[in-house]
């Protein structure tokens, strides 16, 4: 499916991946254009997970100059709110004063809009805006053409069935209704290429032709479940990126075979080195080049050293170990290959990281936390009910008999108050008059 897509849109064509509406994969070729310009503010994002702006059946406002006053766009933005269609503003630039009302109304949910900067600069920018206008059926707002933004109506707006804006690029998809105008525009640009002698100018014109006539291939991924759909999308995306890298710089033997063959060249380079430390570094680099083959063999349950010796003993460059079939064969004929760009970038990045490690005093790493050994719990005993003592009979408590109510006998006491001025209190033979009392 990727082969068919690139065959129709060309090696510089645009291929996108999206969710299909059925369970089978489908390929669709549509008219459209992609250029390297992203949204001016992250507040325009509609899909938070993918960090993109995506609109369906939207309008495009193309302005040749920088927008400085928000009142210039009021009429067109008000029309977008009334008729409820999304709008993408493409201009040379938008001042913060003019951009703020658009962001504010978008966050409130009143307006669906996004703003991007026009591609290229100077005269090239003017040509790119004209190409977008022809593709979308719109008109570029220019003061010298008598079109003023403040007085413009919705007839100057272009139309797109789908617009996807990322942080760095914009994709415009149309319904193909402007195909004749696009073909006429392409023929005009081709005549300019024939009449131009400067190579750089020819390159720019050919890029414009590729953008207009290349089209866009949409890979619609289908699946039974959401989990399967996500997995297939990631696999197709990896395959597409690998295919594009292979188109750019070609392919080499896969399975780590190309790196293993390169390790043989290190011995010749090591002999030219005078410093002993440099020779040690070359030996380390040689071992690193043979590691991918050893790792593949280890994962397949085979001794890596044996596999390396057997591969190097064969002079065929494509000869290598096929771990899927557990056999040795020509890997290029078996279809096991890697893009040259991927292998080159891996070597460059690995060397850069190693250089950083050598020049660093300390390195911060994440320590892998080991899981504690689970403590073995004793077996659970059966739940045996506790034996209760037998219930005793309820015997009433015996009360003592009531005693007869016998009155208490008072204590004998006699008091006499004689007139002789002496007082005497007799109690059981004791008299206070026996002692002198002073008053």
Say yes or no: 157 and 271 in one domain.
Answer: no
Examine the fold and report which residue of 163, 196, 215 is the final residue of a domain before the chain moves on. Answer: 215
| pLDDT tier, 104 (very low <50, low <70, confident <90, very high otherwise) | very high
Please give the C-alpha separations between residue 136 and each of 122, 132, 163, in angstroms, as whole numbers: 22, 6, 11
Res 243: pLDDT: 87
Say yes or no: 256 and 208 in one domain.
Answer: no
Residues of the chain with pLDDT > 70: what percent?
89
Say yes or no: 152 and 68 in one domain.
Answer: yes
Query: What mean pLDDT is predicted for residues 423-427?
Result: 44
Examine the fold and report which residue of 306, 337, 353 is the final residue of a domain before the chain moves on. Answer: 353
CATH code of 295's domain: 1.10.560.10
Res 208: pLDDT: 84
Locus of tokens 């009334």 = 82
Contact 18, 221 (CB under 8 A): yes
Contact 107, 117 (CB under 8 A): no
CATH code of 83's domain: 3.50.7.10
Lowest mean pLDDT segment, chosen from 113-122, 124-133, 232-241, 426-435 = 426-435
| Domain count within the chain | 2
Please report how many Cα atoms fall inside a 13 Å half-sphere around the Cα of residue 69, on the Cβ side: 7
Res 416: pLDDT: 46
**Better-scored residue on pLDDT, 430 or 66:** 66
Q: Is residue 206 part of a domain?
A: yes
Say yes or no: 100 and 182 in one domain.
Answer: yes
Angle (CA) 82 88 92, round 5°: 130
Please report how many Cα atoms fall inside a 13 Å half-sphere around the Cα of residue 47, on the Cβ side: 12
Res 374: pLDDT: 63
Res 414: pLDDT: 47
Say yes or no: 188 and 286 in one domain.
Answer: no
Res 197: pLDDT: 84
| pLDDT tier, 29 (very low <50, low <70, confident <90, very high otherwise) | confident
Q: Is the pLDDT of residue 419 over 60?
A: no
Say yes or no: 90 and 173 in one domain.
Answer: yes
Q: Is residue 231 part of a domain?
A: no
Say yes or no: 49 and 165 in one domain.
Answer: yes
Q: Is residue 104 part of a domain?
A: yes
CB-based contacts of 120: which residues, under 8 Å, 6+ apart? Answer: 127, 128
Q: Is the pLDDT of residue 24 over 60?
A: yes
Q: Is residue 261 part of a domain?
A: yes
Say yes or no: 117 and 197 in one domain.
Answer: yes
Q: Is residue 331 part of a domain?
A: yes
**Better-scored residue on pLDDT, 379 or 231:** 231
Q: Is residue 322 part of a domain?
A: yes
Query: What mean pLDDT is predicted for residues 113-127?
Result: 89
| pLDDT tier, 430 (very low <50, low <70, confident <90, very high otherwise) | very low
Lowest mean pLDDT segment, chosen from 159-168, 241-250, 275-284, 371-380 = 371-380
Say yes or no: 187 and 314 in one domain.
Answer: no
Res 53: pLDDT: 93
Examine the fold and report which residue of 338, 353, 368 is the final residue of a domain before the chain moves on. Answer: 353
- Kindly report, residue by residue over 196-208, the tens digit of the pLDDT: 888 888 888 888 8
Say yes or no: 142 and 258 in one domain.
Answer: no
Q: Is residue 431 part of a domain?
A: no
CA distance 418 to 402: 48
Lowest mean pLDDT segment, chosen from 81-90, 102-111, 214-223, 297-306 = 214-223
- Kindly report, residue by residue over 170-183, the tens digit of the pLDDT: 989 888 888 888 88
Res 340: pLDDT: 92
Query: What mean pLDDT is predicted for residues 80-101?
Result: 92
Lowest mean pLDDT segment, chosen from 3-7, 247-251, 371-375, 400-404 = 371-375
* Token pair recorded at residue 202: 């020819």
| pLDDT tier, 375 (very low <50, low <70, confident <90, very high otherwise) | low
| pLDDT tier, 438 (very low <50, low <70, confident <90, very high otherwise) | very low
Say yes or no: 39 and 158 in one domain.
Answer: yes
Res 132: pLDDT: 92
Query: What mean pLDDT is predicted for residues 96-102?
Result: 92
Q: Would you say how long the chain is, in residues?
A: 439
Contact 331, 318 (CB under 8 A): yes
Q: Is the pLDDT of residue 160 over 70?
A: yes
| pLDDT tier, 19 (very low <50, low <70, confident <90, very high otherwise) | confident
Say yes or no: 76 and 193 in one domain.
Answer: yes
Q: Is residue 358 part of a domain?
A: no
CA distance 52 to 160: 17
Judge residue 91's burial from the number of C-beta atoms within 10 Å of its C-beta, 0-12 exposed, 13-18 middle, 19 or more buried: buried
| pLDDT tier, 90 (very low <50, low <70, confident <90, very high otherwise) | very high
What is the domain extent for residue 321?
250-353
* Token pair recorded at residue 322: 């096929």
Contact 75, 49 (CB under 8 A): no
- Kindly report, residue by residue over 248-306, the tens digit of the pLDDT: 889 999 998 999 999 988 888 888 888 888 889 889 999 999 999 999 999 999 998 99
Instruction: Provide the 3-class DSSP secondary structure of residue 19.
Output: strand
CB-based contacts of 87: which residues, under 8 Å, 6+ apart? Answer: 58, 59, 60, 61, 76, 77, 80, 111, 112, 113, 114, 157
């Amino acid at each position: 499916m990727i082969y068919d897509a690139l065959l129709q849109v060309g090696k510089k064509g645009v291929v996108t991946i999206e969710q299909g509406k059925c369970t089978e994969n489908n390929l669709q070729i549509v008219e459209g254009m992609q250029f390297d310009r992203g949204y001016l503010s992250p507040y325009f994002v509609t899909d938070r997970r993918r960090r993109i702006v995506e609109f369906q059946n939207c309008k495009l406002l193309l302005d040749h100059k920088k927008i400085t006053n928000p009142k210039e766009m009021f009429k067109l933005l008000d029309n977008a709110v009334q008729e409820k269609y999304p709008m993408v503003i493409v201009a040379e630039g938008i001042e913060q004063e003019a951009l703020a009302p658009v962001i504010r109304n978008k966050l409130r949910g009143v307006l669906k809009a996004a703003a991007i900067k026009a591609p290229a600069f100077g005269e090239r920018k003017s040509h790119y805006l004209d190409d977008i206008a022809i593709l979308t059926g719109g008109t570029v707002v220019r003061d010298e053409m008598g079109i003023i933004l403040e007085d413009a109506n919705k007839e100057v707006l272009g139309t797109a069935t789908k617009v996807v804006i990322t942080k760095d690029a914009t994709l415009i998809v149309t319904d193909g209704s402007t195909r004749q105008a696009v073909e006429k525009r392409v023929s005009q640009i081709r005549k300019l290429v024939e009449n131009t002698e400067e190579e750089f100018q020819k390159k720019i014109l050919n890029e414009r032709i590729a953008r207009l006539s290349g089209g866009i291939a949409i890979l619609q991924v289908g699946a039974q479940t959401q989990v399967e759909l996500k997995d297939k999308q990631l696999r197709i995306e990896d395959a597409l990126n690998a295919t594009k890298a292979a188109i750019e710089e070609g392919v080499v033997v896969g399975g780590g075979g190309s790196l293993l063959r390169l390790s043989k060249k290190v011995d010749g380079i090591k002999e030219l080195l005078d410093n002993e430390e440099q020779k040690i570094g070359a030996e380390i680099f040689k071992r690193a080049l043979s590691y991918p083959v050893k790792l593949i063999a280890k994962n397949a349950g085979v001794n890596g050293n044996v596999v390396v010796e057997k591969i190097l003993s064969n002079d065929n460059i494509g000869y290598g170990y096929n771990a899927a079939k557990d056999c040795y064969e020509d890997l290029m004929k078996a279809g096991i290959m890697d893009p040259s760009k991927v292998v080159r970038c891996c070597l460059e990045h690995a060397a850069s990281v190693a250089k950083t490690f050598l020049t660093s005093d300390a390195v911060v790493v994440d320590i892998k936390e080991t899981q504690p050994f689970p403590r073995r719990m004793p077996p659970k005993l059966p739940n045996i009910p506790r034996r209760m003592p037998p219930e005793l009979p309820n015997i009433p408590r015996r009360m003592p008999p009531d005693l007869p109510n016998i009155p208490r006998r008072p204590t004998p006491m006699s008091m006499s108050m004689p007139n002789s001025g002496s007082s005497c209190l007799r109690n059981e033979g004791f008299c206070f008059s026996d002692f002198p009392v002073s008053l």
